[in-house]
């Protein structure tokens, strides 16, 4: 079997003296969608940050496309093709939507950025927002802009951290549509971090469950859904 | 042209000079969130570099301008080295730590100034072309003041263009607002910091160079304008270039009118101005209530 | 690394500065009579202390070469007060614990005023080499204080005397002065004395500038905007700034030709280093201060100037003179007292003729040295080797400057 696009092994992570991830191992294969599910505080966001080396101290190995990332600073990891859509979206309030989207170009390989027309044709509801300021957007619009901004970089691995958090069900549905669309269109590999397991399982090929900083399960979606003890333990939140 | 207009001309010139000194300070705070007390040290270096490059000779105006720009660039180089060596370690520290560290740096610069240029005051003569006056209808303007207006306007327009209209400016604004997200988007935050720090220091050096023909040069220059500059930056709304310009002109005019009309109060103009703002608009001219201003031109 | 290197550099610098200016080796001989020099040898007014030290050291070297005082060598102990009265008092206490009872220097009047009560309490002598506040010999009088410099009243008095004698055609005097009590008081004193001497003379506009102001263009405008068209014939300027404040008004007044709008400028309290600093930019102005090296034709002055030139490659200025004269005043007193006890020296200073380059002088009962005040004209001159020349000088005799 080919080497996974992203492979974490023996990963420990710390905030100050607090030890949050323990001996974590995780594989994401090219073209797949891995849903990383777990309770609040289980270490999902820390895992995402560890992959990008942003704001957390970690040991162990993070390999992306065969390259060890441990000593590579965050911006260069991003330029290697990893885009994180953080859970609080972090749209620039003082910049317009257009400017927010243009910022996505810095992580793209030379000439590889997705033209904005392409983005708006994929997500037509962005079109009327382009000139609007970041602080004037609703939560759903922010989420959409955040995903679109990441897409502009045409990432090889897209990490979505709690994309449905705080969104109305109809918007959650739209976000799911967007993820399907970009997988179909670009074959993007996705690491989907979710507390909303129903939403995640609907989209996932593979599932990993994280609990108290440790991987409690890792396997295919079908294997996960086929094990009643697992679903019992991790889906009843 | 009498009592009403005269202080206006003088105050405007004074304000523009203060703006040049304060603009780099606000830029550095806006992007890096470091209150750079050592700014005055760089200002002093700009003045001394000008003196050293001109060797204290009377230069024709274009040459003096070139020397001032060169002095600004040299100062920026010193700034870049300092950024790599010192400031980089301060970005993640609380503001009080960086304030102390930059204050220490200010004292170091003052000491280095003494070591290199000595204790006796030095004087850079003004260019003859800048000693004249210009007449605009009833208004007589000192030609150096007019030149300062042009430089001040150029700096405002240039910074506004850079920050608002260029791709670099977009990266700068993103870095200023959320440096971690900027890094996640592939922006080389360290390089942005280095560039913006050097730019801010260039402006300090330029300010020093432009002041040098007006005053006697001593290492104390490092501390003499910094309090005023801080007051202006705070009143302007930390991080706002346009607010800094307005605040600088406000202070320049306030001082000039007090000198003309109520001279016994003129010495307190800085405190009067700050007091008015702290009472009526504590967030500063361009700041928004409750948060330090985002970087804005 | 850079931080550390900078720290090391600045530490080295802090160590080097107090040692560097002294041209002679520390003698440290047991039995040497130590004289504490507390003066400002760093910061904007560092030249005051440095030049005072140069003059004092020269006098000490001369006296030691001739066998010392009463068989004892003199030794200077230098303390930097950084123009900060707190540091002055600290330095005084350090000298006291080192057993030094004779002190001199004191760049500013604030330093003298801070030092005097402490010195009086501990029976130490304060030779005010540089400080000029009149209060030190009037309201704040204490027998432990002897002034070497002329008081500001003497300077202002000399300025009025000189204005009266030398510029009879000037009908109005305007003022540009520092905004502190003495700045205001001296201007009042000047105008009153001048009106007593020449009843027709008027005072015009007085502009007072904050001490720390660097951008003074508004003040320049305030001063020049009210002048009549013929001011260059009829108005004189009383300028009471010194150092950086003079540099600022000279440079920022240039576009308006501020000094050209006055028939004459008298700069009370200013002196040659300011002309040296500004070079060709310096306007035509008359300094009223302690000393100018060409103004005194005594044998002692000739020797002093020659020796100073040799040691420091420059002519002595007022501060060098004050350091030098202080040491010789002390020698005159100790020779007479045949003792180094403070009370004996005080008694001797009150009696003894004091030999200085200005001539043989006497202390008055208020411990003010009855002495001439020096007036000398300097002006920028791009063709001169030092970019300025001082073509005229005069000594206003002691009896004309008394109170």
In a domain, B133, yes or no: yes
Work out the minimum CA distance from B173 to partner chain A, whole angstroms: 8
What letter would DSSP give residue B123? E
Considering only B195-199, B268-272, C72-76, which range has the smallest mean pLDDT?
A: B268-272
Same domain for C167 and C196, yes or no, is yes
The DSSP string of C114-182 is HHHHHHHHTT-EEEESS---GGGGTTT--TTEEE-SPPHHHHHHHHHHHHHHH-TT--EEEEEEESSHH
What pLDDT, on a 0 to 100 scale, did the predictor assign at position A166?
84
Mapped onto helix, strand or coil, the DSSP state of residue A35 is: strand
Which chain B residues in 215-254 lie under 8 Å from chain C, judged by CB atoms? 215-216, 218-221, 224-225
**Smallest Cα–Cα separation from A26: which of A213, A224, A228?**
A213
Mapped onto helix, strand or coil, the DSSP state of residue A10 is: strand
Work out the minimum CA distance from A22 to partner chain B, whole angstroms: 24
Same domain for C271 and C303, yes or no, is no
A106 with B183: Cβ contact below 8 A: no
In a domain, B296, yes or no: no
* CA count, 13 A, side-chain hemisphere, C385: 0
Does C touch A (3+ CB pairs < 8 Å)?
A: no
Q: What is the CATH number of the domain that holds C251?
A: 3.40.50.2300
Interface test with chain B among C214, C218, C387, by most B beta carbons within 10 Å: C218
- The model's pTM: 0.82
Nearest to B178 among A75, A76, A90 (CB): A90
The DSSP string of C205-245 is EEEEE-TT-S--HHHHHHHHTT--TTHHHHEEEEE---THH
Q: Which residues of B touch A49 (CB under 8 A)?
A: none
Q: The CATH number of A33-54+78-234 is which of 3.40.50.720, 3.40.190.10, 1.10.1040.10, 3.40.50.300? A: 3.40.50.300
Contact in structure between A85 and A164 (CB atoms under 8 Å): no
The chain B residue lying nearest C1, using CA atoms, is B85
**Boundaries of domain holding C39:** 10-149+295-370
Across chain C, which distance is largest between two alpha carbons, in Å? 70
Same domain for C393 and C254, yes or no, is yes
A108-123 average pLDDT score: 84
Same domain for C207 and C103, yes or no, is no
- Per DSSP (E only), the strands in chain B are 122-123, 133-136, 139-142, 216-217
Tokens of A202: 């609907």
d(CA A71, CA A115): 31
Any B CB within 8 A of A93 CB: yes
Q: Is the pLDDT of residue A236 over 70?
A: no
In a domain, C107, yes or no: yes
Percentage of residues in chain C with pLDDT exceeding 70?
92
Which chain A residues in 29-48 lie under 8 Å from chain B, judged by CB atoms? none
Please report, to the nearest 10 degrees, the dihedral formed by the alpha carbons of residues C233, C238, C242, C248 taken in order. Answer: -50
Nearest to A94 among B171, B177, B184 (CB): B177
Nearest to B185 among A76, A94, A103 (CB): A103
What pLDDT, on a 0 to 100 scale, did the predictor assign at position A155?
92
In a domain, B100, yes or no: yes
d(CA C217, CA B17): 12
Same domain for C138 and C39, yes or no, is yes
C283-294 average pLDDT score: 96
Same domain for C34 and C140, yes or no, is yes
Q: Which residues of B touch C219 (CB under 8 A)?
A: 259
d(CA C345, CA A85): 85
Say how many domains are in chain C. 2
What pLDDT, on a 0 to 100 scale, did the predictor assign at position A111?
67
Chains in contact with B, counting 3 or more C-beta pairs less than 8 Å apart as contact: A, C
d(CA C271, CA C255): 23
Nearest to B267 among C13, C210, C281 (CB): C210
The DSSP string of C287-340 is EEES--TTS---HHHHHHHHHHHHHHSS---HHHHHHHHHHHHHHHHHHHHTS-
What letter would DSSP give residue A212? T
CB atoms within 10 A of CB C26: 11
Contact in structure between B42 and B21 (CB atoms under 8 Å): no
Same domain for C263 and C378, yes or no, is yes
What pLDDT, on a 0 to 100 scale, did the predictor assign at position B236?
87
The helix (run of H) or strand (run of E) holding residue B119 is: none
Interface test with chain C among B22, B111, B126, by most C beta carbons within 10 Å: B111
pLDDT in tens, C258-272: 999 999 999 998 999
d(CA A146, CA A165): 13
What pLDDT, on a 0 to 100 scale, did the predictor assign at position C242?
87
Chains in contact with A, counting 3 or more C-beta pairs less than 8 Å apart as contact: B
In a domain, C4, yes or no: no
The DSSP string of C15-50 is HHHHHTT--S-----TTPEEEEEEE--SSTTHHHHH
Contact in structure between A200 and A194 (CB atoms under 8 Å): yes
CB atoms within 10 A of CB A77: 25
d(CA B203, CA B193): 15
Contact in structure between C186 and C249 (CB atoms under 8 Å): no
d(CA C73, CA C64): 5
C105-134 average pLDDT score: 93
What pLDDT, on a 0 to 100 scale, did the predictor assign at position C235?
96
A119-127 average pLDDT score: 87
In a domain, C382, yes or no: yes
What pLDDT, on a 0 to 100 scale, did the predictor assign at position B295?
62
What pLDDT, on a 0 to 100 scale, did the predictor assign at position C6?
41
pLDDT in tens, B142-166: 889 889 999 999 999 999 999 989 9
Task: Report residue B96: phi and psi, to 5°.
Answer: -65, -35
Q: Which residues of C touch B108 (CB under 8 A)?
A: 6-7, 9-10
What pLDDT, on a 0 to 100 scale, did the predictor assign at position B264?
79
Any C CB within 8 A of B120 CB: yes
| Site of tokens 């200016």 | C21
Buried b / exposed e over C105-127, threshold 16 CB at 10 Å, is bbbbbbbbbbbbebbeeeebbbb
B81-107 average pLDDT score: 90
Hey, which residues does A67 pair with through a beta bridge?
A64
Q: What is the CATH number of the domain that holds B93?
A: 1.10.3470
d(CA C111, CA C88): 6
Instruction: Decide which of C11 and A11 is more confident.
Output: A11
- Cα A89 to Cα A132, A138, C96, C115, distances in angstroms: 16, 12, 69, 66
Tokens of B137: 């209808």
Same domain for C262 and C387, yes or no, is yes
In a domain, B297, yes or no: no
C32-41 average pLDDT score: 94
Nearest to B220 among C43, C251, C279 (CB): C43
Contact in structure between A144 and B177 (CB atoms under 8 Å): no
**Average pLDDT value over all residues in chain B:** 88
Q: Which residues of B touch A79 (CB under 8 A)?
A: 186
Work out the minimum CA distance from B246 to partner chain A, whole angstroms: 21
**Average pLDDT value over all residues in chain A:** 89
Chains in contact with C, counting 3 or more C-beta pairs less than 8 Å apart as contact: B
Same domain for C282 and C350, yes or no, is no
Buried b / exposed e over C175-193, threshold 16 CB at 10 Å, is bbbbbeebbbbbbebbbeb
- Cα B165 to Cα A96, B161, B168, B193, B289, distances in angstroms: 13, 5, 9, 19, 26
Nearest to C214 among B11, B225, B256 (CB): B225
Q: Is the pLDDT of residue C117 over 50?
A: yes
Interface test with chain B among A73, A106, A107, A145, by most B beta carbons within 10 Å: A106
Say how many domains are in chain B. 1
d(CA C246, CA C286): 13
**Boundaries of domain holding B197:** 2-280
Task: Report residue B217: phi and psi, to 5°.
Answer: -95, 120
A32-44 average pLDDT score: 90
In a domain, C2, yes or no: no
Q: Is the pLDDT of residue B94 over 90?
A: no
**Average pLDDT value over all residues in chain C:** 89
What letter would DSSP give residue A41? T
Instruction: Decide which of B231 and C22 is more confident.
Output: B231
């Amino acid at each position: 079997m080919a080497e996974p696009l992203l492979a974490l092994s023996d990963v420990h992570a710390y905030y100050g003296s607090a030890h949050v991830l323990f001996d974590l191992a995780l594989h994401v294969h090219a073209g797949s969608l891995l849903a990383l599910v777990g309770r609040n505080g289980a270490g999902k966001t820390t895992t995402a940050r560890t992959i990008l080396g942003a704001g957390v101290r970690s040991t162990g190995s993070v390999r992306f496309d065969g390259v060890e990332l441990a000593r590579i600073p965050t911006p260069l990891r991003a330029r290697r093709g990893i885009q994180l859509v953080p859970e609080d979206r972090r749209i620039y309030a003082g910049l317009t939507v257009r400017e927010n989207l243009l910022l996505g170009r810095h992580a793209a390989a030379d000439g590889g950025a997705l033209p904005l027309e392409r983005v708006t044709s994929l997500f037509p509801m962005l079109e009327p927002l382009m000139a609007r300021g970041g602080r004037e957007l609703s939560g759903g619009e922010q989420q959409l802009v955040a995903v679109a901004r990441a897409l502009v970089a045409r990432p090889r691995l897209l990490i979505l951290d709690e994309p449905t958090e705080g969104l109305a069900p109809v918007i959650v549905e739209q976000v799911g549509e967007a993820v399907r669309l970009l997988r179909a269109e670009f074959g993007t590999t996705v690491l989907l971090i979710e507390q909303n397991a129903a939403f995640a399982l609907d989209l996932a090929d593979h599932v990993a469950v994280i609990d108290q900083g440790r991987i409690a399960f890792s396997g295919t979606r079908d294997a996960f859904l086929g094990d009643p003890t697992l679903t019992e333990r991790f889906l009843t939140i | 042209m009498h009592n009403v207009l005269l202080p206006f001309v003088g105050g405007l010139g004074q304000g523009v000079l203060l703006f040049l000194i304060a603009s780099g300070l606000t830029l550095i705070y806006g992007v890096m969130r470091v209150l750079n007390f050592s700014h005055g040290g760089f200002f002093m270096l700009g003045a001394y570099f000008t003196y050293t490059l001109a060797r204290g000779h009377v230069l024709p105006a274009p040459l003096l301008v070139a020397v001032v720009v060169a002095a600004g660039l040299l100062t920026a180089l010193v700034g870049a080295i300092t950024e790599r060596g010192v400031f980089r370690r301060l970005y993640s520290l609380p503001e009080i730590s960086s304030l102390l560290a930059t204050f220490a740096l200010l004292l170091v610069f003052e000491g280095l100034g003494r070591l290199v240029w000595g204790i006796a005051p030095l004087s850079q003569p003004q260019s003859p072309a800048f000693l004249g006056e210009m007449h605009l209808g009833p208004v007589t303007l000192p030609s150096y003041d007019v030149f300062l207006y042009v430089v001040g306007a150029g700096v405002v327009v240039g910074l506004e263009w850079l920050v608002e209209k260029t791709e670099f400016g977009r990266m700068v604004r993103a870095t200023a607002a959320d440096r971690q997200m900027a890094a996640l988007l592939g922006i080389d935050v360290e390089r942005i910091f280095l560039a913006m720090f050097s730019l801010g220091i260039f402006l300090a050096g330029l300010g020093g160079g432009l002041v040098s023909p007006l005053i006697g040069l001593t290492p104390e220059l490092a501390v003499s304008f910094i309090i005023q500059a801080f007051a202006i930056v705070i009143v302007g709304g930390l991080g706002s270039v346009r607010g800094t310009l307005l605040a600088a002109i406000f202070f320049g005019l306030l001082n000039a009118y007090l000198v003309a009309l109520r001279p016994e109060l003129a010495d307190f103009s800085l405190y009067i101005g700050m007091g008015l703002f702290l009472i009526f608009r504590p967030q500063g001219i361009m700041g928004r209530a409750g948060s330090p201003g985002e970087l804005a031109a | 690394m850079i931080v550390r290197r900078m720290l090391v550099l600045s530490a080295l610098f802090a160590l080097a500065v107090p040692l560097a200016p002294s041209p002679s080796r520390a003698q440290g001989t047991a039995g040497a009579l130590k004289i504490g020099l507390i003066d400002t040898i760093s910061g904007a007014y560092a030249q005051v202390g440095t030049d005072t030290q140069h003059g004092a050291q020269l006098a000490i070297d001369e006296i030691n070469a001739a066998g010392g005082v009463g068989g004892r060598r003199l030794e200077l102990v230098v303390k930097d007060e950084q123009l900060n009265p707190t540091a002055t008092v600290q330095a005084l206490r350090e000298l006291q614990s080192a057993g030094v009872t004779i002190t001199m220097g004191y760049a500013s009047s604030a330093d003298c005023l801070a030092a005097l009560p402490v010195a009086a309490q501990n029976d130490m002598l304060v030779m005010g080499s540089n400080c000029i506040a009149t209060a030190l010999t009037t309201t704040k009088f204490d027998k432990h204080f002897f002034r070497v410099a002329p008081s500001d009243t003497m300077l202002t008095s000399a300025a009025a005397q000189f204005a009266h004698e030398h510029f009879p055609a000037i009908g109005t005097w305007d003022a540009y002065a520092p905004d502190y009590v003495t700045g205001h008081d001296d201007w009042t004193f000047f105008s009153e004395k001048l009106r007593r001497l020449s009843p027709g003379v008027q005072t015009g506009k007085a502009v007072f500038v904050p001490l720390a102001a660097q951008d003074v263009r508004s003040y320049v405008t305030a001063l020049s905007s009210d002048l009549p068209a013929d001011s260059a014939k009829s108005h004189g300027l009383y300028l009471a700034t010194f150092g950086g404040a003079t540099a600022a008004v000279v440079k920022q007044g240039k576009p308006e030709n501020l000094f050209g709008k006055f028939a004459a400028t008298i700069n009370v309290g200013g002196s040659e280093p300011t002309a040296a600093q500004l070079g060709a930019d310096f306007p035509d102005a008359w300094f009223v201060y302690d000393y100018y090296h060409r103004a005194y034709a005594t044998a002692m002055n000739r020797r002093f100037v020659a020796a100073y030139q040799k040691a420091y490659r420059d002519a002595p200025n007022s501060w060098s003179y004050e350091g030098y004269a202080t040491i010789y005043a002390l020698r005159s007193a100790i020779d007479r007292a045949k003792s180094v006890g403070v009370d004996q020296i005080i008694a001797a200073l009150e009696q003894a003729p004091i030999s200085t380059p200005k001539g043989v002088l006497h202390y008055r009962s208020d411990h003010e040295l009855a002495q001439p005040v020096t007036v000398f004209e300097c002006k920028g001159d791009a063709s001169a080797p030092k970019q300025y020349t001082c073509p005229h000088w005069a000594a206003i005799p002691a009896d004309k400057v008394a109170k």
